[in-house]
Structure formats: structure tokens, C-alpha cells
Structure 1
């Protein structure tokens, strides 16, 4: 009977003409971990363990989807984010490492505070509010999105970690959501920020499978979400409140100017792990 080593080699070979070797190797290991429910260490130490026919059949179905360049996270139904294993589906954007960096910034800047009230706008899978709830002392946490299917995924993820997060179905571009003035300590958003003209720079597995609603903005109004969110946040944030954004690296200067024009203070652009202008932080300029 074929064993774990055979299975991993088969997966790697089957997708090797689509993905570069390091990526194919990593994906093969992740598929094996998923179908066998074994850790990476167990896969390494038990490579001669036999694998039954049903598992091989399941793996062949996975391989077919990967050969169509469907993202691995959608195929497996899960994505890892800041130590969490979250459910994902084509209704939500796959959480990115850059967004983990944003979460890490927020946690490090706010872990000394108690009873925080947090709103995440364009929440998708709920990865940001769920990670923040797990690591900060929060009184109330909200996740807002225009997509009800996305919120269904977010609800399942919060339920998995037994978190009491309030999910709001709302189009932030249509106007103010129902929050009392000066009621929030943190507003965070990773809104759509990829320009239509940037489509040609994106990988096909992103373009073909991930929700365009969560990705793209019109070239002529690239900051539409930031304008709307920052405008509303002026009244919703407490005097000590902080606004955090994940941003398009090419729009950092324009967004900083916008925030300053709106009256925010201490506007700061923060680079990601690749040295790109990826995050903006601003506070209410209380005078």
C-alpha cells in the first residue's frame, strides 16, 4: 500500500507545472496535513505510514481543483491567520500576511488598555475583529460588511472561538451606521483598494476566484472607502480614539493628505514587511 511519502510526492508532482517548487512543496504538505489530520512533525516522522484508498480519492479531487488554480484556502475551506484557523469561502477574501501585520500593530499599541470598543469595517471573514478580541481587553467588538454571505462566514468563525462579536450588514458607502457619537476606541478597515488598472498585475488565482467586491475600486475614485470611513470616524471615535487602515501602497501620500485635511492628527504611514507603504494610523486631533 502507498504511504504518506508517496502521497506528498504525488501532490507535488501533480501541481508542479503550475506552481514554483517551493510553493508546490508547501501546498503538498498542507494538503497532506489536512486530509490525514496530522501535524507537520508527524508527517515527517511517519512517512512510511500507509494511506488508504479513500484518502487517495479525496486527494485526487483536491488536486483537480488546485490544477484549475483555485486557491488552496478555498479548496481546504480554511486559512491560518494570527494563530487562528478560520473558515473561508469564495464569499470572502483570503486573509493576507499584511493584514496580520496590521492586527499586530493594533494589538501592540492597545494591549495596555481596558474595555476597548472596536469596529472593523469591510470585515470579510471576520479575521481582524476575531484576532483583536482574542488578544485585547475589549468591551464590545463589531464587524461590518456589505456582504451577507461574508458575514455568515464571520459568524461561524466567531462561534468557533466562542466570541461575542456583533456583526452588522451595512453598505458603508451609503451613509452612517448606527453608532452613538464618540463611542468607539478603535476603527479599523482593510477596504477594497486595488485599482481596476492593476488587474493585469494580479495572479490569475486571485482574479478568477476571490470576490471582486472585496478587492477593486474605480480608478477615478480610489479612496472612496477611505473618504467615507474617515469622515464618519470623526464623530464616532472617542477623543482618544485611533483610526487604522490597510492601504494601497501607491495611495499613501494622497490618503495622508486627505486625513490631515479632515482634521486628523499624528497621521502616520507604516511600511509592511516588504518595505511598502501599507498601513495608515491617525488620531482625532482634539484641540
Structure 2
């Protein structure tokens, strides 16, 4: 993931009002929303249940994480989070540390699609979104994290928990101009086993895989199940679910998941190999032979193992 903080400084809470008019007043334009967005969203949305933690200088990262983690029921505060995400040499927090800290608290960090339509959809669904903004000029970035909690569609304004402001209102145009300078980077925090509405299969795979790297496949099982329930035709999701089910001691269900992976991607050699191995363990030699022959016929790192197993059947 690209780190956006090279040669950057972080916004102190008192810089917001000074920087925005200078940087944005001359060129800000309203983002173009899809007609379906206007038709499907409520006129006004505000999530008052998101707690507020005020930031001091350079602490917008820990403050935003404290808000979204507490919203998910994690008992933490800014002081506890500062040593986990704050990098003194950079006067702030970079994205990988933000996401890793979420995972350390046994939560998933789901990236969102970088569009205003997607952001507003998440807010209407009740999911606060951590967003990254550049409150200055592109040539001299001033990075800042905030939590989007709502919007007013007729007024074209967005509501943020930001800096020392519990309820900070920005026009769509000003917000999107600052958000665009971070490539519209944002994420949602969610409990394991849940998949927020609007998260793409690709972003879900990224988030759950990272969570699994930290906590292991058994801990990620319910999240893989949520992904496959939403996207049953996704072969990578089925493959990951099979691995998690096997780690959890459920070989028959793992076989079903690997079979689904190969049905949706007949060239997924790793899925054919795992399927054959489990079928051997379940004393199904003919089915195992068929799966291993498929794995052996597909070029990749799994071929040698599949060929060796075939000689033993």
C-alpha cells in the first residue's frame, strides 16, 4: 500500500480553518454523484452513537481509531493508542500502522471504494468511516484523519468528527477536494464475522487476509464465511474458507469449499491440490486421484506435490 506521508506534516487542530480557504476556495467543485445515489439515500443521516475523542497536535490518527474502535465495543482511548500508531519521526500516523492497530484489537479494517457515492452509502448503512485528508496543497501535504458520521444530501454537506470538533460540517466540494489528495483513502472497522454493506469482494479479501495473518485461520473463519455468503461465486473466498475450515477441524466442510473454488475457477491448482489431499485423508482415493490429476496438469508450485501424491495412490 502506498504511504502518503513522505515530506509531509500533520494538521494541528487549529490549522483547519486557516488552511481550507487558502487551498480550496479557488478550485473546489461539487463531486458528481450518481442519480441512483440521490434516489436511494435518505436526505439526512447522522450517527450520534459514534463517540468523540478530541485530538491534540499530531494525534488525529489515535483519536479517530479511538472513536471507531469504541463504537465497535473495544474499550480503549487515545493515550493507549498513541504508542501503537504514532510515529514521532513523521509527526503522525501512516496507513499501515492504522490498519494494523485495528487488527491488534481483534477488529477488521475494510477499505472502501474511493468514491463519494460509496462513502455516503456506508454512512447511511450506519458505518462510520475513517477518512484521510490533505488539508493543504499537494506540493506541501498536511495529512489529517477524521471520522465521517453523516451527511445532508439537499445541502450537500458531510459531517465529521475531526480535530477538536465533535460535529464538523464541510461541503461536499471542500471535503472531496481534501479527500481526493489521499486517493480517497478510507476504511470501516467491523467485528469479525461481519461484512459491512457495500464492501467489494476484493477489499474484503484484502481485509480478512490481513486479519488472518495476525490471528490465524481459525480466528478468521467467521469472516470468510461472511464473505462467501455475500460472494458465493468468488473462488479465492471459497479457497480461503476451505483452509480456515480445515484449520478448525472441519474437513468435510473444507472439501465442500475447495470443490466450490474449483467449480468457479477450474485453473486454481492450489484448490485442486488441497481438495485431493483432504479426499485422501477421508479415504476417497478415486476422488482424490481426479483432483490431484487436475492439480498436476496446471502449471504452478503445487504441481510437484500433486505428482508425488499421485504416485502413492
Task: Give the TM-score, by structure 1 length.
Answer: 0.29
Which has the larger strand fraction?
A: 1
Question: What TM-score results when the alignment is normalised by the length of structure 2?
Answer: 0.28
